[in-house]
C-alpha cells in the first residue's frame, strides 16, 4: 500500500464510483458510435483505454470483474461472440493491475510505450479468438491498437483533470 | 492464500491472477457455448433490451444530421426527384400490367405442369440503425425486431437486389448478415444461361467470390447472378451480383471469379425485409426439376 501512495503522491486524486461508472459508460457510447469505412479501421478502443486507465490508477476499485462485465455488454452491442470482448478486456485489466506500479513510474509519453504492448495483447486475444472460431483474420484491425495507444496521453490528462476537485482550481 | 505477506489488513478477495483464471475460463466456456449451441440467445436478447436505448442514443446525432440534411434539401432537387419518380412510376405501372398478365399465365402454366407455386412475399420496410462496428463481421442492425414479427432466416433486400439475411432477432432490433460477410453463401443462377453456382462473401465490402466453378464454365464479365431459390431461403430470381472479373488459370482447377453486389449493400438507409419463409418439402425427390447437388446449408440461423 505505502509504495503505491508514494508513486501516486502527486496525484492522489479523489475518485467516486459514480465517476468511474460514468467514464466507462461514456467510453462504451464512444465505441458504439456508428463508425464506418476507414474510420472503423482507425477506431480506437475507448473502453479498453478507460479500463486500462482505471486499472493502473485505481487497481483496487476497478478490477477484472468490471472489465469482464463491460466486455459482455460490448459483445452484445457489437454482435460479436459472447465472451470475445470479455476475454480480451479481462486479460487487459489483469495486465494493467499487475503492471500498474511500473507503468505509473514513467511520464506520459513513456507510459504510451508501456501500455502499447498491453493493448496489442488485448487486440491479439480478440483477433485470435475470431481466427480460431471463424478462420479469418483482418490485419487492419490492429491499426486500432496503435491509435488507442496514441490516445493514452490525452485520455489520461482528461480523466486526471476531471478527477481534480473543483476547490483545487484556485491554488494555481 | 498469501501466508508469506506480513499483514493483511484489508481483505480484497481473491488475487488478480485467480480472478483472471476464473474469468478467462468463464469467457472461454461462454465462447464455446455460443459457437456450438444456441442457449445464450435469450440472454443476449435480454441484454440487448438493456443496450438498445443506449444504441438509439448514440445513433441520434447521425440520425439528426440526416434529418437536418433532408430538411434542407433544396426545392429544385425535390421537384426534380418528383418528376423523375413520376416518370419511373408511369413506366413501372405499364410494366406491372404486363407482369399481372405474365403472372396469371405463369400460374396457369405451372398449374398445367403441376409444379409448386411460387409464393408472393409480403415485405416490410426497416431502417438501418447501425452499420457493422466490428471490423471482422459484415453485419448491420435494423430497427425492426421480434415485435414486428421478424424471424431469423428472412431475406433482406433493397430496391435493386439482395442485401443479406436476418441472422438474429432481438425484441426491437434484428441483426442482418450481409452477403459480403465471409461466412455467407447465396445459391445463385447465371441469368444468361441458368448455370447454377454459389456465391460467397469475401469479407470485403463490394466484393463477392464465385468459388468452385470449373475453368470451362460459361461465365462472362457482366453476367448477372440471380438467386436460384434452391435452398428454400431465398426466393427465386432476385438479383444478387454482377460478374466483374473472370480469371481462368489452367494451373488451378477452378476459375477465379469476382462479383460485385447489385444491391447497395453499404449505401442505403432503408431496407426491405421479406416476411414469410418459403416452406420447401423435406424430401428432395419431390422437386423433380431441380437437382440436389447444391449444398443446402447456406442458410445460417443464429450464429
Q: What is the average pLDDT across B117-136?
A: 72
pLDDT: is A151 or B217 the higher one?
A151
For residue A9 the three cell numbers come to: 503522491
pLDDT in tens, B8-36: 666 667 788 888 899 999 999 988 888 88
Q: What is the mean pLDDT of residues B134-160?
A: 82
Picking from A77, A91, A139 by the largest number of B CB atoms within 10 A of its own CB, the best residue to mutate is A77
Closest CA relative to residue A46, chosen from B60, B58, B30: B58
Q: What ipTM did this prediction achieve?
A: 0.78
pLDDT band at A7 (very low <50, low <70, confident <90, very high): very low
Res. B178: pLDDT tops 90: no
pLDDT score for A147: 92
Residue B116 grid cell: 409448386
Whether B41 has a pLDDT exceeding 70, the answer reads yes
Label each residue of chain B as H, E or C: CCCCCCCCCCCCCCCHHHHHHHHHHHHHHHHHHHHHCCCCHHHHHHHHHHHHHHHHHHHHHHHHHHHHHHHCCCHHHHHHHHHHHHHHHHHHHHHHHHHHHHHHHHHHHHHHHCCCCCCCCCEEEEEEEECCCCCCCCEEEECCCHHHCCCCCCEEECCCCEEEEEEEECCCCEEEEECCCCCCEEEEEECCCCCEEEEEECCCCCCEEECCCECCCCCCCCCEEEECCCCCCCCCCCEEEEEEEEECCCCCCECEEEEEECCCCCCCCEEEEECCCCCCCCCHHHCCCCCCCCCCCCCCCCC
Q: Determine what percent of chain A falls in helix, strand and coil, rounding each to the nearest 5.
A: 80, 0, 20
Tell me if chain A has a CB within 8 Å of the CB of B115. Answer: no
- In the beta sheet, which residues pair with residue B188? B197, B227
Choose among A32, A35, A80: nearest Cβ to B55.
A32
Res B288 pLDDT > 80:
no
| A79 closest CB neighbour out of B26, B54, B134 | B134
**Answer CATH for B123-303 from 2.60.40.1840, 2.40.10.340, 1.25.40.390, 3.40.50.300:** 2.40.10.340
Q: Which residues of B touch A60 (CB under 8 A)?
A: 12
Mean pLDDT value across residues B171-190: 86
pLDDT at A38 (0 to 100): 76
Q: What's the gap in Å between the CA of B98 and the closest CA on chain A? A: 42
Q: Crossing angle for the helix pair B16-36 and A108-134, nearest 10 degrees?
A: 30
Whether residue B56 lies within 8 A of chain A, CB to CB, comes out as: no
Q: Tell me the mean pLDDT in the region B223-246.
A: 85
Residue B232 burial (10 A CB sphere; 0-12, 13-18, 19+):
middle
Residue-level pLDDT at B120: 64
**Is B131 an interface residue toward A (CB < 8 Å)?**
yes
Smallest CA–CA distance, residue B57 to chain A, in Å, is 9
Under the banding of pLDDT at 50, 70 and 90, the label for residue B300 is very low
Architecture of domain A2-163: Orthogonal Bundle (1.10)
Query: Across chain B, what does the average pLDDT equal?
Result: 79
What would the pLDDT profile of B209-222 be if each residue is shown by its tens digit? Answer: 888 888 888 888 88
Average pLDDT estimate for B240-262: 88
Average of pLDDT values for B168-186?
A: 85
Q: What is the pTM of this model?
A: 0.69
Q: What is the per-residue pLDDT for B25?
A: 92
Locate the chain A residue with the closest alpha carbon to B50: A73
Give me the residue spans of the domains in chain B. 16-63, 73-115, 123-303
- Smallest Cβ distance to B136: which of A32, A36, A130? A130
Q: Which residues in B lie closer than 8 A to residue A36 (C-beta atoms)? A: 131
CA distance B278 to B153: 10
List pLDDT tens digits, range A77-89: 777 788 889 999 9
pLDDT per position as a tens digit, B92-112: 998 888 888 888 888 888 777
Chain A hits for B203, Cβ within 8 Å: 136, 138
Chain A nearest-CA residue for B173: A77
Q: Any idea where the domains of chain A sit in the sequence?
A: 2-163
First to last CA, chain A: 29
* Percentage of residues of chain B with pLDDT beyond 90: 7
List chain A residues with CB under 8 Å of B34.
Answer: 81-83
Q: Determine which of B41-55, B111-125, B171-185 has the lowest per-residue pLDDT on average.
A: B111-125
Which pLDDT does position A69 carry in this prediction?
Answer: 92
Average of per-residue pLDDT values in chain A? 83
Residue of B nearest to A25 (CA): B54
How close does chain A come to B170, measured CA to CA in Å?
11
Nearest CA to B238 out of B261, B257, B208, B219 is that of B261
**Spatial CB neighbours of B301, under 8 Å, sequence gap ≥ 6:** B38, B152, B153, B167
Longest Cα–Cα distance in chain A? 57
pLDDT of residue A3: 41
Amino acid at each position: 500500500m505505502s509504495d503505491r501512495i508514494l508513486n501516486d503522491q502527486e496525484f492522489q486524486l479523489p475518485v467516486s464510483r459514480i465517476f468511474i461508472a460514468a467514464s466507462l459508460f461514456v467510453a462504451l457510447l464512444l465505441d458504439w458510435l456508428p463508425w464506418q469505412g476507414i474510420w472503423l479501421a482507425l477506431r480506437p478502443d475507448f473502453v479498453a483505454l478507460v479500463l486500462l486507465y482505471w486499472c493502473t490508477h485505481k487497481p483496487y476499485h476497478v478490477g477484472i470483474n468490471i472489465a469482464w462485465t463491460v466486455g459482455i455488454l460490448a459483445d452484445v452491442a457489437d454482435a460479436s461472440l459472447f465472451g470475445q470482448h470479455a476475454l480480451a478486456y479481462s486479460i487487459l485489466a489483469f495486465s494493467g493491475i499487475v503492471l500498474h506500479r511500473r507503468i505509473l513510474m514513467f511520464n506520459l509519453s513513456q507510459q504510451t510505450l508501456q501500455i502499447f504492448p498491453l493493448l496489442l495483447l488485448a487486440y491479439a486475444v480478440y483477433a485470435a479468438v475470431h481466427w480460431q472460431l471463424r478462420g479469418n483474420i483482418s490485419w487492419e484491425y490492429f491499426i486500432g491498437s496503435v491509435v488507442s495507444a496514441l490516445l493514452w496521453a490525452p485520455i489520461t490528462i482528461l480523466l486526471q483533470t476531471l478527477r481534480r476537485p473543483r476547490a483545487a482550481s484556485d491554488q494555481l | 492464500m498469501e501466508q508469506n505477506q506480513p499483514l493483511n489488513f484489508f481483505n480484497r478477495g481473491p488475487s488478480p491472477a485467480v480472478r483472471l483464471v476464473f474469468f478467462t475460463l468463464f469467457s472461454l466456456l461462454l465462447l464455446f457455448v455460443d459457437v456450438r449451441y444456441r442457449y445464450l440467445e435469450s440472454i443476449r436478447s435480454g441484454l440487448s433490451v438493456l443496450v438498445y436505448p443506449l444504441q438509439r442514443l448514440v445513433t441520434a446525432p447521425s440520425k439528426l444530421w440526416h434529418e437536418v440534411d433532408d430538411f434542407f434539401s433544396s426545392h429544385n432537387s425535390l421537384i426534380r426527384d418528383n418528376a423523375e419518380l413520376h416518370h419511373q412510376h408511369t413506366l413501372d405501372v405499364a410494366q406491372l400490367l404486363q407482369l399481372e398478365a405474365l403472372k396469371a399465365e405463369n400460374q396457369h402454366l405451372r398449374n398445367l405442369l403441376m409444379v409448386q407455386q411460387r409464393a408472393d412475399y409480403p415485405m416490410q420496410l426497416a431502417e438501418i440503425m447501425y452499420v457493422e462496428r466490428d471490423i471482422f463481421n459484415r453485419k448491420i442492425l435494423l430497427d425492426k425486431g421480434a415485435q414486428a414479427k421478424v424471424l431469423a432466416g428472412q431475406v433482406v433486400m433493397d430496391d435493386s437486389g439482395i442485401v443479406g439475411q436476418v441472422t438474429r432477432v432481438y425484441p426491437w432490433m434484428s441483426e442482418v448478415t450481409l452477403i459480403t460477410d465471409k461466412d455467407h453463401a447465396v445459391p445463385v443462377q447465371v441469368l444468361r444461361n441458368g448455370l447454377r453456382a454459389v456465391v460467397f462473401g469475401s469479407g470485403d465490402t463490394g466484393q463477392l467470390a464465385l468459388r468452385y466453378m470449373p475453368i470451362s464454365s460459361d461465365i462472362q464479365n457482366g453476367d448477372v447472378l440471380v438467386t436460384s431459390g434452391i435452398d428454400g431461403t431465398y426466393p427465386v430470381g432476385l438479383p444478387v451480383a454482377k460478374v466483374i472479373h473472370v480469371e481462368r488459370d489452367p494451373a488451378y482447377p477452378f476459375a477465379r471469379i469476382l462479383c460485385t453486389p447489385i444491391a447497395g449493400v453499404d449505401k442505403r438507409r432503408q431496407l426491405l425485409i421479406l416476411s414469410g419463409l418459403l416452406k420447401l418439402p423435406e424430401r428432395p425427390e419431390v422437386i423433380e426439376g431441380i437437382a440436389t447437388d447444391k449444398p443446402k446449408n447456406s442458410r445460417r440461423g443464429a450464429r
